[in-house]
């Protein structure tokens, strides 16, 4: 038998090149159809974005703009950062400003030290599987959050009144106790918010983790701190920063109970009441829209500093777990 002879492809083409030529001659694969943009989402996004822009973004930007102007001869004149320098260096304004900042930080500290731990404790108790009537307790504890701040202020004024209440000392009439008393009144009203946030995370922890800890001989206290608490650390940070933002924006309770002067002797004066007096004026104090916008801008910068501290100092260092 004569062996088969293979012939070389013409023009110096190798086998691989021939195969490639054949593949190239084949029809190209059909391109995947491009996904259309879900235009129906615009119906949901645009109204919310428009409302948020009109009532939040635009007032904020306009306040920043207004803080760099001052009335000169009846005309708003651009002065740059002169209003901020005046706020921080003027004897009367700077003393009122730093007093309000300090009181705001104390107001937040009371909420951070008292409200959030109590909310965590109540959430841990409500998350106990053997507790009966959890829905009733949860509703009763969250109910004060829905009350009007005017009602809360009026009720607590009666409760702690030396004439009508159960306290002999005028807690709201002394400079040393007025601010802390108002903060504790606010804690009573809003403790339900951190409680619900902690409760939602605690009930999402799988039962297998707690059962495994119990089998290993861990007590309920050890199980909470060694198993559950590390899992809710991201929520602890979120609750902390929400508490900070809310208390740096506080105004209504102190204005309801102590008025715009936030007495006695400005002992309960915070950034919100200082802004109100500066912007709108009060009694003999003449209002100034530009200085009021300056105070509001300083409030925004303090809140922004706290939020950035949370993002870069806490959130990056806390490990999140998928529950």
pLDDT in tens, the chain (323 residues): 444 444 455 444 444 444 444 444 555 566 666 777 778 888 889 999 999 999 999 999 999 999 999 988 888 899 999 999 999 999 889 999 999 999 999 999 999 999 999 999 999 999 988 889 989 999 999 999 999 999 999 999 999 999 888 888 899 999 999 999 999 999 999 999 999 999 999 999 988 888 898 888 888 889 899 899 989 999 999 999 999 999 999 999 999 999 999 989 999 999 999 999 999 998 877 889 999 999 999 999 999 999 999 988 887 777 666 66
Question: Cα(283)–Cα(298) distance, rounded to whole angstroms?
Answer: 24
Contacts of 252 (CB under 8 A, 6+ apart): 149
- Residues 6 or more apart in contact with residue 258 via CB below 8 angstroms: 172, 178, 182, 268
Name the residue among 271, 247, 87 with its Cα closest to residue 183. 247
What pLDDT shows up at residue 26?
A: 55
Name the pTM for this structure: 0.84
Whether the Cβ atoms of residue 274 and residue 295 lie closer than 8 Å to each other: yes
Q: What CA–CA distance (Å, rounded) separates 188 from 111?
A: 10
d(CA 256, CA 253): 5
State the pLDDT at residue 15.
46
- Determine the pLDDT at residue 323: 61
Instruction: Look at residue 235 in the predicted model and tell me its pLDDT.
Output: 92
Domains in the chain, ordered, with CATH?
A: 83-317 (1.10.3720.10)
What does each C-alpha distance from 166 to 13, 150, 176 come to in angstroms? 104, 20, 19
Long-range contacts of 221-229 (CB under 8 A, 24+ apart): 224/124, 228/124, 228/202
In this prediction, residue 31 carries a pLDDT of: 62
As a whole number of Å, the CA-based R_g of the chain is 32
Determine the pLDDT at residue 275.
Answer: 95
**How far apart (Å, rounded) are the C-alpha atoms in residues 207 and 153?**
42
How far is residue 318 CA from its own chain's centroid?
Answer: 17
The strand pairing partners of 31, in sequence order, are none
200-238 burial code (b ≥16 CB/10 A, e <16): ebbeebeeeebeebeeeebeeeebbeebbeebbbbbbbb
CB contact at 8 A, 249 and 100: no
Distances in Å between the Cα of 202 and the Cα atoms of 111, 131, 139, 195, 310 are 21, 14, 17, 10, 22
**pLDDT reported for residue 123:** 95
């Amino acid at each position: 038998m004569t062996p088969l002879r293979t012939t070389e492809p013409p023009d110096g083409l190798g086998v691989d090149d021939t195969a490639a030529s054949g593949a190239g001659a084949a029809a190209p694969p059909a391109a995947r159809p491009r996904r259309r943009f879900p235009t129906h989402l615009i119906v949901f996004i645009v109204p919310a974005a428009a409302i948020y822009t009109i009532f939040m973004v635009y007032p904020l930007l306009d306040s920043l703009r207004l803080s760099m102007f001052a009335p000169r001869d009846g005309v708003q004149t651009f002065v740059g950062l002169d209003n901020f320098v005046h706020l921080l260096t003027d004897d009367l304004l700077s003393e009122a400003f730093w007093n309000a900042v300090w009181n705001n930080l104390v107001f937040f500290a009371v909420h951070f030290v008292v409200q959030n731990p109590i909310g965590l404790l109540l959430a841990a108790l409500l998350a106990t599987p053997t507790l009966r009537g959890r829905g009733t307790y949860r509703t009763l504890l969250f109910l004060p959050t829905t009350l009007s701040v005017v009602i809360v202020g009026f009720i607590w004024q009666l409760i702690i009144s030396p004439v009508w209440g159960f306290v002999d000392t005028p807690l709201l009439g002394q400079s040393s106790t007025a601010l802390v008393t108002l903060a504790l009144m606010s804690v009573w009203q809003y403790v339900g918010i951190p409680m619900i946030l902690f409760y939602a995370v605690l009930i999402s922890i799988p039962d297998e983790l707690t059962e495994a800890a119990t089998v290993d001989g861990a007590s309920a206290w050890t199980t909470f701190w060694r198993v559950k608490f590390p899992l809710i650390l991201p929520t602890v940070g979120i609750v902390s920063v929400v508490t900070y933002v809310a208390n740096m924006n506080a105004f209504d309770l102190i204005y309801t109970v102590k008025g715009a002067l936030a007495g006695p002797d400005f002992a309960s004066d915070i950034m919100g009441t200082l802004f109100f007096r500066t912007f709108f004026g009060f009694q003999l104090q003449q209002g100034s829209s530009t200085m009021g916008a300056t105070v509001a801008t300083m409030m925004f910068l303090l809140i922004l500093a706290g939020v950035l501290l949370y993002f870069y100092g806490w959130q990056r260092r806390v490990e999140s777990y998928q529950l």
